[in-house]
Structures are given as C-alpha cells and as structure tokens.
Amino acid sequence: MMAKADAYWRRTKRLTFTLLLCWICLTFGVTWFSREVNEMVFLGFPLGFYMAAQGSLVIFLLIIWWYNRRMRKIDAEFGVDED
Amino acid sequence: MLKSLTRLQRYYLYYTGCFLAFIGALAILEQHGMPPRWIGYSFLFFTISMYALIGIVSRTSDVSEYYVAGRKIPAFFNGMATGADWMSAASFIGMAGTLYLSGFQGLAYVIGWTGGFVLVALLLAPYLRRFGQYTIPDFLGARYGGNAIRLVAVAAAILASFVYVVAQIYGVGVITSRFVSLQFEIGVFVGLAGILVCSFLGGMKAVTWTQVAQYLILIVAYVTPVAILSYNVTGNPIPQLVYGQVLQQVTELENRLFDTPAEIEVRQLFRERADLYAQKIMQLPHSLIHEREQLSTEINRLKASDAQMKEIVALERHRRDLPHDPDQAKTRWESAMFSAADRSKQPIHHAEAFPGETAEEQNIQRINFLALVFCLTVGTAALPHILTRYYTTPSVREARESVFWSLLFILLLYITAPAYAVFAKYEVLSHLAEIPIAKLPGWVAAWAKVGLVSIEDINGDGILQLAELSLNPDVIVLATPEIAGMPYVVSGLVAAGGLAAALSTADGLLLTITSALSHDVYYRIIRPDASTQFRLVISKSMLLVVAVLAATVAAQKPGTILSMVAWAFSIAGSAFFPALVLGIFWERATRQGALAGMIVGVLLSIYYIVRVEFDTIPWLGISGLHMEPWLHIQATSSGFFGVLAGFATIILVSLVTKPEPGAISFLKGIRFRNEASS
C-alpha cells in the first residue's frame, strides 16, 4: 500500500511539474519576447499580440485538458477509480 | 438530442430560451414605443426575480449544503458557477476599456486572469477536494495545526474579500443609476437585495445555482453587442476571428493620424498647460493670492468701463470658484496638471508590445507587464472565494474537470474583451478623429452628459483631435450598443449582464467572509460544541451583517475602492499561495514557517503599496513616506515581492524548526486516497 501510494505520487508529481514548466515557459518566456515576436503576422494579428490575447489562453486550456486526461489514466492504473 | 442531456442541463436550456424570448418580446415592445426606462426596469425586475426564484427553491437547513452545496455540483455546472463567481463588474465593464486605453499592456490582465487557472488545476484544486472540508483556513489549520494560522488566514481572507465585495455593490449602484436612472444609493440597496435573495436562504447551494443562471445572462450580454458591431464593420459576426484585420486598419490609421501637425500642436498646448499648473503649484500660496488679485482688478476695470454685465458675472463666478485655501488649490491643480500631462503624451500604438521611446523605457514596461501577470496569476490561484468552489464537486476527478470548464467559460469573455477594445478604437479613429466637433455622432454627446466622455477643443479649430478626446474606461462596453446603432433593448441587456457579473461575484465573496467568521472563528475556535442548527443561525446572521455593512460602505461612494481591488490580488496571493502550495508539495513545511511566511508576505505587500502609492497619511500624521519603486515595479504588482518573500520565509523558517509531526499522515491523505474510503 505504501509503495503504491509513493509510486502514484511520483507519477503525479512528474506530470504536474512538467506541465508547470511548460506553463512558465509560455506565460513568462514567450511573453518576454513579445516585441520581437510581434514582427510576425498570424491571422492578420501581430503574433505577440495574438499570443497574449488568444493563443496563450487556448494553450492554458490544453494544458489543463492534458493534465486531466493523464490523471484519469494514472488513477485507473492505481485503482483510484471513484465510482 | 434533448434526451441526451441531464435534467439540470435541460432546465438551464429552458431558462436560456426563456431569457432569449424575454429579450425578443422587449425588442418588439420597444418598436411599438415602450420607453427605454421601462425596458431598463423590466430587465432589472425579470433577472432579479429569476435569481430570487432559484434562491428560494434552493433554500436549505443543512450545514454541508450551506457551506459547500452538499458537494453535489457536477463539474460542468461548477465550471459555469466559477466563471460567474470569477468575472466581476470590473471584468465585465472595465476590462475592455482598460484594453482600449493601454493596448497591448492591458493584455497582462487577460493572460494573468486566465493563466491562474492552470495553477489552480495543477497545484490546488484536486488536493483541496480530496481534503474535503469547508474553507481555506480549514485546510491550512489541518495541515499546519493550531488556531494561530487559522486566524491569520481568516484575517487575510476577509481583508482581500471585503474590499472586493464593496466594489461589486458599488458596481451595482453605478449600473442601476446609469441604465434605470435610480438614485445611486437606492441602486446600492437594490444590489443588496439582489445578493441576499440568492445567498440568505440557501447559502452555497443557492449561490451556485444562481451563479449558473447569472453566467448565462452575462455571457449573452457580453458577446451580443460586439458580434453585431463586428458584423456591421467586417460582415463577419464572430469578432474574435476577424478583429486581426481591424487591428491592421487601426495601425494604419494610427500611423496616419498620430503625427499630423494639428495633433502635435494640441499635445504641445496640453504640455504648456501642465507646465503652467506645475509652476502655480510650486509658487503656492503666492500664486493663488496673485490669481485672485488679478481677477479682482480685471473685474473692477470692467465695472469702470461700460462692459456687458454678463462678462462681469462670468468673471465673478470664476473668482468664486477659485480654491479656498492653498491645500485645496494644490489637490485641484495637481489633478488638472496630471490630466493635461496625460493628454500631452505621445499616444501608443495599440498592438505595440512594451511601448517606450528608449530601450530602457521598453524594458521597464516589459518588467512591469510580467510582474503584473505574475501577481494576477498567483492571486487568481489564491482567492478564497474561487478556491472554495472546488470543494463543491462530488469527486476529485470532477474537481479537476471543473477547472477545465471554469477556464473554458471564462475564456469566452476574455477572448472577446480585446475585440471590444479594437472595434471601439477603430470607431474612434475612423469616425471621430478629424471630424468637426459639431458633427460628432450622437453617442458622444449622450455619454459626455454623464461625464464618461470629455472633449476639449484646446486649439479652437472646431475639429476633434485625438488628444482632445478623453474616455472613461467604462464607456467602451456601455456605449458599444449605441456605437453600432442598436436598439435600446441591447443596452438593457448589457446592463443586465453587468448586474449579473457584479451580483454573482458579490455572492461568492460574501459567503467566503461569512464562512470565515461563522465556521472558522465561531465554530472552530470559540464554540466547537455548537449544534448544527445554531451554526446555521450564526452563519445567516453573519451574512446579513456583512452584507449590510458592505452596502453601507458602498453607499458612501468611496472613490479609492476601485483601485484597492487590484491590491486584493497581491494580498491574497502573498498570504495564501506559498503556504498552500508548499503545504501540499513539501513535507518539511512547518507551522512556524507557514505563519511567518504568511505574515511576512502580506506585510511586505502592504508596506510596498503604501510606500510607493502614498506620500502622506493625514489621519496618522505621517508624511514623506514615498519611496522609489524597486526594479521600477508599480504598486499594483506588490505581490511580486510579497509572494517571493513568502516562499523564502516559509522555506528558511521551516528548515530551522522541527518537522511537523502530523504532516506526513495529512499529506498521505490528500495525495493518494481511494474516494470510497473517505
């Protein structure tokens, strides 16, 4: 039981920190270079503006979606099924 | 198709249909001559009675239902309720305006207020749900042990939430007074009634179901006007897709208009005026005496000659309106100087990131942008009224999923707000700039009357230059229906949406304050043996007291309240975020560490705000407070330092104190547990 709990937590932690790192790179890394990225055009928008107004938001949503999907799998593997 | 929906989804579908039919009916009535004021009343009455109906149907006398809606809210609806809980009057009315005024820099709010939900999803929501109690202080109390940390948490929760709730009720007053022409104070008490019908009888359960209803109204109200405007301008009714092209046109117009000789002249004139005020302030009190003497000589000279009586009266009124004493002169002239200086600035291009004339200025903007994003994300992930919502789902898995739905529903509004700003800017640049002032569109005069738009023809050429126009941020959302030439019913809809946004956020905040007082202070600390019935009585009376108190404060029209809301994020972020996150992810975090971290974080945030924002505090007799900001970071982002200091303090103090004995077993419980055994 102990080992199982530890393994579950290790998997959860790895997933959490990987996604958190992606989030930090996007939120602070890409945004830092907005001025430079703005030179490019996407759908008629300067890309830096687009990322801050829409692109990042959609990726945030995808990060959460991916986390939920992976966690469901991990839950099933470890028998943390809830119903 | 209908069969595949759950019963609840069908109910809300009928409700939405009912609301749309109501709007349709009003639109028809308007064509038959129903006056705007009655349309406003109908919206007010219809929506509030809907909320009241839901509030009464969901009444409860069960403690768990009162605090956490009996943990029966499906992920999808919890997402919607969180959306309404989250989006306040400021998001609904103010954000598009902020984006209009500050262009790219305003997008910090869009990124910050959505990015925070990633932190909620990854770091907090699942663990709070697995812990499964009632409040955020509950969690900290259980993790670190002892009443001290609970009390600090209660104090921080109330500090962050109370200002916020006052701002919401203030927002209700503003909306009702503008659209239904109720007196501001009466509007405030209408707001109070609207909040109490939702929350008093049914607590969290009723608040949740009304928030779902309020979300539906607010999103329809937000998207409709800009969709119609977008269709008028581009032929495509989905503004989020097409405003990129409009943005390009805006940039072209900006390039053409910003540096015309007339614009440069107008900005020069404003700069001269600002300098003049600066000089007058420097020479106080002499300059005030001098000005009064000058006016008196002029009046006497006119009286001696055979000038028109009208001129003399005008000058005498001018003399009467002069500031009475040097202090008053200083405040009045300072605000005049700042507004003139503001208008004299080189305007910024809407799409330009981190605008500035030198590389250093650009860097300052960049740092401030990122610091603000940091504060808003961390603050979002630490506001107690949002976090408690994740206690209300049936399971951990649904808690995780409901963060996804929350963000999706919030995105719908936040993706639309920048489009509002760009369409409004296009309208101003193409239909107001370089137009004779006498021929401006009707909405300008209508909103100038209530003081949200002001025009001053400083160079006297009878033509509007951009620098001569100043807009209050609220006007963007409020005036869009008129800009697009829509019937009044759409304006009424916008008012109903703003009302829904303000009421839903106020409900959630009020409940947080109430449960902090009744559950954490009264039940957990003062009388742990209180019967459930008595706990409910205490909760309900607390709710009433706090609500009336908030409405009373809002009725005083505290002007600074709106700027104080931004500070709530820094305060909540530095109080809760480090203690919660380290509490979940780091076994070694100790009670002393958490206590020290929370206190240091909050105090540093407040200290920074006070020293950067103020110079004197008259009622404490302190002056000469002002200090230069660190790393050029503005007071709004004080949480940047508060949160970092909070993390550092918790880690350092925890390492030198003994490990918490209960931490391991507590963490085992929230990190891995079969739901069935809980």
Residue B122: closest CA among chain A residues belongs to which residue?
A: A16
pLDDT over 70 (residue B318): yes
Cβ neighbours of B414 in A, within 8 Å: 57
Pick A57's closest partner by Cβ from B396, B403, B415: B415
Q: How many CB pairs under 8 A join A and B?
A: 135
Identity of residue B394: P
With tokens 């924002």, the residue in question is B613
The fraction of chain B above a pLDDT of 70, given in percent, is 97
Q: According to the model, what pLDDT value does residue B565 have?
A: 78
Q: How far does A29 lie from chain B, in Å, by closest CA? A: 10
Q: What is the mean pLDDT of residues B211-237?
A: 90
* Residues listed for chain A: 83
In sequence order, what DSSP letters do the residues of B9-23 get, joined into one string?
Answer: HHHHHHHHHHHHHHH
Distance separating alpha carbons of residues B16 and B250, to the nearest angstrom = 36
The ipTM is: 0.95
Cβ contacts of residue B295 below 8 Å, gap of 6+? B315, B318, B319, B322
Q: Exposure pattern of B61-74 as b/e (b: 16+ CB <10 Å)?
A: eebbbbbbbbbebb
Structure confidence by residue, pLDDT tens digits, B531-554: 888 888 888 888 899 999 989 888
Structure confidence by residue, pLDDT tens digits, B87-142: 988 888 888 888 998 889 999 999 999 999 999 999 999 999 999 888 999 999 99
Confidence of residue B594 (pLDDT cuts 50, 70, 90): very high
Q: According to the model, what pLDDT value does residue B406 have?
A: 95
Yes or no: say if A6 and B664 are a contact pair by the CB < 8 Å rule.
no
Three-class secondary structure assignment of B46-107: HHHHHHHHHHHHCCCCCHHHHHHHHHCCCHHHHHHHHHHHHCCHHHHHHHHHHHHHHHHHHH
Q: What residue spans define the domains of chain A?
A: 2-77
Pick B414's closest partner by Cβ from A5, A48, A57: A57
Structure confidence by residue, pLDDT tens digits, B37-68: 888 889 888 998 899 999 888 888 888 888 88
pLDDT over 60 (residue A82): no
Interchain pair A49, B370: CB under 8 A: no
CATH 1.20.1730.10 applies to domain B2-238+366-424+486-677? yes
Interchain pair B672, A32: CB under 8 A: no
Q: According to the model, what pLDDT value does residue B481 have?
A: 86
Cβ neighbours of B585 in A, within 8 Å: 13
Yes or no: say if B258 and B278 are a contact pair by the CB < 8 Å rule.
no
Structure confidence by residue, pLDDT tens digits, B473-518: 888 888 888 887 888 889 889 989 999 999 999 999 999 999 888 8
